[in-house]
Amino acid sequence: PSAEAGLYTASDQIVLLTQENVESVLINSTAAMIVEFYASWCGHCVAFSPTYKALARDIKEWKPAVDLAAVDCADQENREVCKTYKVRGYPTIQFFHAYSKPDYEGLPFRDFSRNVQDLRHKILDKLETHGEPWPPACPPLEPTSQMEVDVFFETNDVKHLALIFEDATSYVGREVTLDLLQFDSIAVRRVLNTEESLVTKLGVTEFPSCYLYYPGGNFTRLRVDIEARAFYSYALQRLPGVVRSGKPPPVSTELLKNNTEDPWRPFDKFRVYMADLESTLHYSLRVELGAQSVFQGRALTSLKAYISVLAKYFPGRPIVTNLLKDLNSWLQKQTGDRISYEAFKEKLENDAQSPNSTLPDGVRWVGCQGSQPHFRRYPCGVWTLFHVLTVQANSKGSDPQEVLRAMRSYVHNFFGCRECAGHFENMAAETLEQVTSLPTAVLWLWSRHNVVNNRLAGALSEDPQFPKIQWPPPDMCSACHAVKDNGEHTWNLTEVLKFLLTYFSSDRILTDYLE
């Protein structure tokens, strides 16, 4: 709990070191560890923390080989830790190789700059000079040769070998190698432009570029929009047969039919379905809110704000919007300091009986179907609902934070997944105040959703049929992606906004499968 008061929380994918766990984390770890020693009162540390968090997201896939930790030296309870490692200035970053012994003090990062790319390169430099024992999960990082490639498939049980051709100063090959570390059936190696026999054999003229190499010596160029790390990693993680370690391979929709008790409803992965939005409303209003017996204080304010944004912005069928509007005007008229769920429900069900207003009872997931009953569904619906609402508010609203505040307090007070609620509240507390216009509200929710996707990629809750990705991927919106002069991936926010406003717009929502 003391670590929570520091600059990082459990949502940041950074191991929070304390006196209690320092030995179990640092000593004999199978992964190399990077540790930031900081003091929560130090201005430089506060200024550096967003970079360190961004680094953690950027190299999330590398965790089995190299992981990030942080310790707050301002916390009394951690004094011994910082003393043991002889830390005097903040922030200090040290590299601990895998299988470190208790007396090992770590290798300091000298003159590190406050940018993710430089830090990532420094980590690769340190990893590459890592002596024995090498972190077992870390693939070889040195350049490969014709000789090695010739016998590659005899000694490696993989379907694909990706070769990244580049010059000696480029880090892309090593970065992609580590980005693919948690995926089966594929290996990635870098090839230097000076490795003449391979360069000539494959006819490589562009550096970097990526080729897929097969047993028997066949090869093809990997087609990507831009020759850069993010594009290679995304494309390679999606090659046929490549799956995240420990996850079952994707199956056909034929097989999916047998996994779920509901009949599988074929759908277009690139569209929003009204059936999901109505199912979400049903579940939220009748089941999730039903877990409350009374609404009072903040919960009551939260309920009113939620129903109010639904009444204003839900782009549904007239019968459904009639019900929401009626429910809203009733709710806003309630002046008491508490409302029972029973009273709320009575009003809801009464409205649902009337000839021109209803909310279908029960769920009928379509775009939010999961390959197993415990995947996707309601949380998918909640995200979709609020994306749609921010997009509606963009053309109809005036208060930039109205929808997001309603979402924040709904999630905080009512969302059944309490861990999710805690994470979401952390993000909202950090950055929601920065939303000052309606378009930035749309973009805020999109970017926070991607932070959650990053954190959950590979988690148990991930449906193997619907892997968590940074969304929209290049094959959905190519113009949304770009690279900076230094080769780092960046989003073209103008294009992303354009994409979101279209993707979630009311006139594109499909009405298939509605009752």
Catalytic residue annotation: 42, 45
The answer for 306, left when phi > 0, alpha when psi is -120 to 50, beta otherwise, is alpha
Cβ proximity to ligand FAD, 171 vs 267, nearer residue: 267
Least Å distance, CB 417 to ligand FAD, is: 6
Least Å distance, CB 500 to ligand FAD, is: 7
Segment lying near ligand FAD (by CB under 6 A), choices 32-40, 203-211, 220-228, 414-422: 414-422
Give the residues across from 35 on adjacent strands. 69, 94
Identify the H or E element spanning 210: strand 209-213
Determine the size of the site formed for ligand FAD (CB under 6 A): 25
Cβ proximity to ligand FAD, 13 vs 177, nearer residue: 13
Strands, DSSP E only, in 214-367? 219-221, 243-244, 294-296, 338-340
- Residues 66 to 105: which contact ligand FAD by CB under 6 A? none
Alpha-carbon gap, residue 320 to 245, rounded angstroms: 44
Backbone angles phi, psi at 354, to 5 degrees: -70, 155
Cβ proximity to ligand FAD, 325 vs 449, nearer residue: 449
130 scored as a contact of ligand FAD (CB under 6 A): no
Q: What count of Cα atoms within 13 Å lies in the side-chain half-sphere of residue 513?
A: 25
Q: Binding marks (x or -) toward ligand FAD, 368..407, rule CB under 6 A?
A: x-------x--xx-xxx--x--------------------
463 scored as a contact of ligand FAD (CB under 6 A): yes
162 scored as a contact of ligand FAD (CB under 6 A): no
The CB density around residue 199, as the number of other CB atoms within 10 Å, is 17
Cβ proximity to ligand FAD, 202 vs 380, nearer residue: 380
> Residue 321 burial by CB count (10 A; 0-12/13-18/19+): exposed, middle or buried?
middle
Beta strand pairing call for 186-192 and 107-108:
unpaired
Alpha-carbon gap, residue 274 to 513, rounded angstroms: 9
Segment lying near ligand FAD (by CB under 6 A), choices 79-87, 179-187, 419-427, 485-493: 419-427
Residue with tokens 């892309």: 172
408 scored as a contact of ligand FAD (CB under 6 A): no
- Residues 141 to 160: which contact ligand FAD by CB under 6 A? none
Alpha helix locations (H) across 85-195?
116-128, 146-150, 152-155, 172-179
Least Å distance, CB 28 to ligand FAD, is: 29
Q: Binding marks (x or -) toward ligand FAD, 423..462, rule CB under 6 A?
A: xx---------------------x--xx-xx--x--x-x-
Alpha-carbon gap, residue 326 to 305, rounded angstroms: 15
What is the token pair recorded at 142? 């040195």
Distances (CA, A) of 30 to 47, 99, 115, 264, 316: 31, 6, 27, 42, 52
Least Å distance, CB 59 to ligand FAD, is: 20
> Residues 17, 81: contact at Cβ < 8 Å?
yes
Q: Binding marks (x or -) toward ligand FAD, 189..218, rule CB under 6 A?
A: ------------------------------
Least Å distance, CB 221 to ligand FAD, is: 29
Least Å distance, CB 368 to ligand FAD, is: 6
Least Å distance, CB 10 to ligand FAD, is: 10
Q: What count of Cα atoms within 13 Å lies in the side-chain half-sphere of residue 469?
A: 18
Least Å distance, CB 63 to ligand FAD, is: 17
- Residues 464 to 483: which contact ligand FAD by CB under 6 A? 466, 471
CA atoms 489, 432, 334, 345: torsion sign: positive
Cβ proximity to ligand FAD, 139 vs 473, nearer residue: 473
306 scored as a contact of ligand FAD (CB under 6 A): no
Q: What does the binding site for ligand FAD look like in residue numbers (CB under 6 A)? A: 368, 376, 379-380, 382-384, 387, 411, 417, 419-420, 423-424, 446, 449-450, 452-453, 456, 459, 461, 463, 466, 471
